[in-house]
Amino acid sequence: VRILVLGAAAGGGFPQWNAASPACRRARAGDPAALPATQASIAVSTDGERWLLVNASPDLRWQIERTPALQPRRGPRSSPIAAVVLTNADVDAVAGLLTLREGTPFALYAHPTVLAILDRNPIFEVVRRDLVPRRALALDEPVAVRDAAGTPLGLTLLPFAAPGKAPLYLEGEDPVTDALTGEVLGLELRAGGRRLVYLGNCAVVSERVRARVAGADLLFMDGTLWSDDELVAAGVSEKTGRRMGHVSIDGPDGAVARLADVPLGRRILIHLNNSNPALLADSAERARLDAAGWEVARDGMEILL
């Protein structure tokens, strides 16, 4: 199984368009310890020819243009992108669908809750339903991923409910839920006896989450924030991480502590917010992650599983 990290950052990317923080200034200045990152997505393939994208980032066009494996090889129109699976309907997970609108078939997989949000937004009709079948995922039911024509990609997808919330543009007063409503999915991907879990959005590392990820050869974990009050402390938001639907990395309930005793192959943080000091290769926080056996995803990272 080949895995490409197309984007490592949370919504907004790193640097974010309106952020003047020291870290974002370092990224703009080309500081090698503050590498820019696009919005989170990975691509997975078993044959290197046909790829499944996990989420369609707003940066997808650029991600394709710098990733030869995702570029068309047969004329006049084609794409190695055979399927896209959505973990939620946040802007940073779905906006890239609009980039895939030029009439080339692929299969689109998502939970019915997310498909209903797309159905209600007519702009997504530019992704033509006659070419791009929208396939509903059921929680805890494995499916063989197939392209639009029905040919299997050799990947089995097992979606499960992750603690999280509805997208920002649809949320109510107290949106975070551990209910099994399908707003946010964790994805287990299996191929050739290997198991990868993608959990780029996760509000709480519950016992259910711990059990779900245990034993995976590779975990991509929600690394949005280092600490729960990071955005409040930076004076850029009144929201805690928990309120935003993201468990923090640090702290007694954080991802590192809560997953410390869970057996895993590689553990990689993804979907890092531009405020997160772990984005900086020379930070004390990054050194702590190294010592704890955690990696931080970066754009262009390639993994062979």
Question: Residues interacting with ligand MLT, by CB under 6 A?
Answer: 10-11, 90-92, 168, 201, 244-245
Q: How far is the CB of 87 from ligand MLT (least distance, A)?
A: 10
Nearer to ligand MLT, 90 or 228 (CB): 90
The answer to the question of residue 90 lying near Mn ion (CB under 5 A) is yes
Q: How far is the CB of 10 from Mn ion (least distance, A)?
A: 5
Distance CA 224, CA 240 (A): 11
Residue 35 binds which of Mn ion, ligand MLT, none (CB < 5-8 A, kind-dependent): none
Q: How far is the CB of 91 from ligand MLT (least distance, A)?
A: 5
300 exposed, middle or buried (CB, 10 Å; 0-12, 13-18, 19+)? middle
Nearer to Mn ion, 23 or 89 (CB): 89
Nearer to Mn ion, 195 or 243 (CB): 243
Distance CA 58, CA 78 (A): 21
Q: How far is the CB of 245 from ligand MLT (least distance, A)?
A: 6
Q: How far is the CB of 176 from ligand MLT (least distance, A)?
A: 11
Q: How far is the CB of 169 from ligand MLT (least distance, A)?
A: 8
Nearer to ligand MLT, 107 or 204 (CB): 204
Q: Residue 69 to residues 54, 73, 169, 258: CA-CA distances in angstroms?
A: 15, 9, 34, 36
Contact range with Mn ion by CB under 5 A, out of 7-15, 30-38, 177-185, 292-300: 7-15
Contact range with Mn ion by CB under 5 A, out of 10-18, 27-35, 46-54, 282-290: 10-18
Q: Rg of the chain's alpha carbons, rounded to an integer?
A: 18
Distance CA 100, CA 105 (A): 9
Which of 19, 23, 92, 97 binds Mn ion (CB under 5 A)? It is 92
Strand order in the sheet with 2-7: 134-136, 107-110, 81-85, 51-54, 41-45, 2-7, 302-304
Nearer to ligand MLT, 1 or 89 (CB): 89
Helix H or strand E encompassing 62: helix 60-65
Nearer to ligand MLT, 169 or 287 (CB): 169
Residue 245 binds which of ligand MLT, Mn ion, none (CB < 5-8 A, kind-dependent): ligand MLT
Residues with Cβ within 8 Å of residue 264, at least 6 apart in sequence: 213, 214, 215, 216, 217, 218, 219
Number of residues counted as binding Mn ion (CB under 5 A): 4
Residue 102 near residue 77 (C-beta atoms within 8 A): yes
**76: preceding bond cis by omega (within 30 degrees):** yes
Distance CA 203, CA 214 (A): 18
Distance CA 58, CA 12 (A): 9
Q: How far is the CB of 26 from ligand MLT (least distance, A)?
A: 22
The answer to the question of residue 96 lying near Mn ion (CB under 5 A) is no
Distance CA 35, CA 80 (A): 27
Give contact residues for Mn ion (rule: CB under 5 A): 10-11, 90, 92
